[in-house]
Structure 1
Amino acid sequence: MAIKATIHKVLLNIANMDSHYYAEHTLTMAKHPSENDFRLMVRLVAFILNANEELVFCKGISQEDEPDLWKKSLGGDIELWID
């Protein structure tokens, strides 16, 4: 039987006074069995530093052609790719 991903729920209140971005984000993060706690926290910090309504978590470690986080435009173009 394969080890399944561990699900983590995160509630963030972000107040970025430099870019005037203030928002609450409710995130559901999946920790892959081969991923350590440090990498999970790095993904969370990357989200915090680039927080935006369109920024989403991707398959990342389990999918080679997808990043950990990305932001797509309304037209479907990738604006931000975080690996």
Structure 2
Amino acid sequence: MRSPSWTSRDRSLRIDPQRRTVCVADRPIELAPGLLEVLLALADGSVLPRGGGRALDGRIRALRRCLEDAGLESDRILTVRGQGYRLRIL
């Protein structure tokens, strides 16, 4: 079961899995359902494995672009070489 909400320590990113909403700097942003699922999977701070295909790579690229367009730093989603991706939590 997912927690009611998740907020980065610097409060720049807030995710509410129950309401399926994301806010950057207290402004709500729209994410496609697939991108939201990826962000929810990253929110616990663990590495999200790439798996064998490239589908996740495309979603990560799109998610990075959406978050950056909303004002979040472009390096908040880190590539962990040989493993996958991780959300940098501030």
Structure-1-length-normalised TM-score: 0.31
Larger Rg: 1
Higher strand content, 1 or 2: 1
Higher helix content, 1 or 2: 2
